[in-house]
Amino acid sequence: MSNRRVDRVYHLGVIVVAAAALLGFSGRTQAQNFDFDRLQRTIQEYSVIIDMKLQVSYGIQVNDHEERYVGTVVTEDGLVMFNGAALASDNLMSSYTGFAIKTTPVDIQVTTLDGRKYRGEYIGVDRFTRIAFLRIILERPEKLVPITFSQARSYKVGSWVALYMLLPEFISPPLAADVGMISSIIESPEYFPLTVGFNGLQITSVLFTEALEPVGVLGMMSDPTMSPADAGGMMDSYGQYAPLLGIITADRLARLIADPPQKGSVDRGWLGINLQALTTDMAEFWQLGIPGGIIVNDVIRNSPADRSGLAIGDIIYEVNGQQVDVDKDEKTPVFRRLIAEMGPDVPVEFSVIRLTESGVDTLTLLATLQTAPLAATDAPEYENRALEFKVRDLVFGDFVFYNLDSETFHGVVVSELKQGGLADLEGLEIGDIIQRIDDEPVYSIEDVRPIMDEFEQQQPPEVIFFVWRDKKTLFVNVKTDWR
């Protein structure tokens, strides 16, 4: 039986003393002139409460969670955005191995602030901002009132902003106001008006100016050097420092609302190289006169990099005319994220230095990025209830992680087992790569399905799996119980 438990997580805010007083902005304290009565009436139109039941699985462990969020209606047909941090499952382990942590919404209820109740359908979460989207299921023709974000003319240090945060379920009314201040305008590694006075539990709450204009939502600045290799990371913080919170601006939100991320789909750009940083010592040794760059260590065959003419040993020092500021290996995720965020089918110009026997050549190469290979969490999956296991297709990361030849090696990966189930008891393990079932070769989950359907009709006393595990092959005999 699976280990299951139910946790209830409340996403509530804590009202923070205005940071302006701490920073000595005594002359600005009079700027907190928000008309909260009018603001509260305004947010009633497009704010909703989301109650969501989640199933979180990791191998043979399955836990049930209930979470509660404040959401914002962003289109008339019921598109809603909310804090999707709990739904994001991209991390280095799940991207490169079979040990994926999967979070699946199994039931969504949406309640407007005037008490109307709807069912919701989960759409997806943006891997960089961690903003998630769902769609309200409308039982009859109906138009909802969406928020309209204002494009701020400029953000100024010292300007006040306000938001409404969600309170615990037993409290009425469900929302409370909070205020903060813009403390800095960050330009690199991305444009980000930094705020003080808020906390991480208020993320994705709408931020309003003193004129009550909604200008964005509260988000967290990520440290690209701490992001996983497949460019996850908006929920990272800057090491020993407190989380850096600020405004995800209206223009960025507009792009997400126009094309919401879809669960199971990939929207990241991919170049197809292995890389390392051009360190200051290397640049000085080769007398290159540049502050940093990317050294190409390997080029994946038939990738955008391969088709563009990039070669092993090339040094990328500019992308679309912008300097690549990578001078140590800890900064290489900055480049990876840059490529990932551009998305597929985007032409990119690379300025490249190529070291030759006769000297140094400078080249301009054009590559059209393609869709990044599937991660383990995005791979198609098949569940066999009779023997109580799940398998998924092999993905690019599996071949890289295990150093396998994608042209000759085949199989499907055991992604989940029911604890105490037949496959688990007989020795099948998470991460096993099944290459044959009895005498039938397996290349994808589409091969597994008809084989297992036939077994369920014939009901043999055991099923023999030929698996690859820890660089060795072995047979796993699973005794059956066809009740």
| 88 and 210 inside one domain | yes
Distance CA 349, CA 153 (A): 31
Q: Rounded to whole angstroms, what are the CA distances from 200 to 39, 258, 359, 403?
A: 22, 26, 52, 39
pLDDT at residue 236 above 50? no
Cross-strand pairs, 71? 48
Indicate the burial class of 459 (C-beta count within 10 angstroms; 0-12, 13-18, 19 or more): exposed
Higher pLDDT, 82 or 342: 82
Q: Which of 311, 346, 371 is the last residue of a domain?
A: 371
Task: Kindly report the average pLDDT of the chain as a whole number.
Answer: 84
Binned at pLDDT 50, 70 and 90, residue 242 comes out as low
Spatial CB neighbours of 19, under 8 Å, sequence gap ≥ 6: 180, 181, 183, 196, 197
| 251 and 304 inside one domain | no
| 9 and 58 inside one domain | yes
| 362 and 405 inside one domain | no
| 142 and 273 inside one domain | no
pTM tops 0.75, yes or no: no
Q: Which of 233, 265, 297 is the last residue of a domain?
A: 265
- The length of the chain is 483
For residues 121 and 138, the answer to whether their CB atoms sit within 8 Å is no
| 38 and 137 inside one domain | yes
pLDDT tens track for 194-226: 999 999 889 999 999 999 999 999 998 865 554
Q: For position 98, what pLDDT does the model report?
A: 43
CATH number at residue 361: 2.30.42.10
Q: What is the mean pLDDT of residues 126-138?
A: 91
Higher pLDDT, 172 or 22: 172
Provide the domain count of the chain: 3
| Domain, as residue range, for 340 | 269-371
| 342 and 389 inside one domain | no
| 423 and 361 inside one domain | no
Unique residue bearing structure tokens 């409404």:
164
Task: Name the token pair of 428.
Answer: 């099948």
Q: What is the mean pLDDT of residues 246-274?
A: 87
CATH number at residue 42: 2.40.10.120
| 70 and 191 inside one domain | yes
Distance CA 312, CA 274 (A): 9
| 180 and 318 inside one domain | no
| 185 and 67 inside one domain | yes
Of 343, 88, 68, 56, nearest to 235 (Cα)?
88
Q: Which of 319, 354, 371 is the last residue of a domain?
A: 371
Higher pLDDT, 386 or 222: 386
Question: DSSP assignment, residue 444?
Answer: S
Task: Name the token pair of 389.
Answer: 């296991």
| 349 and 383 inside one domain | no
Q: DSSP letters of 88-156? A: ----HHHHHSS--EEEEEEEEEEEETTS-EEEEEEEEE-TTT-EEEEEEE-SSS-----------S---
Does residue 19 sit in helix, strand or coil?
Answer: helix
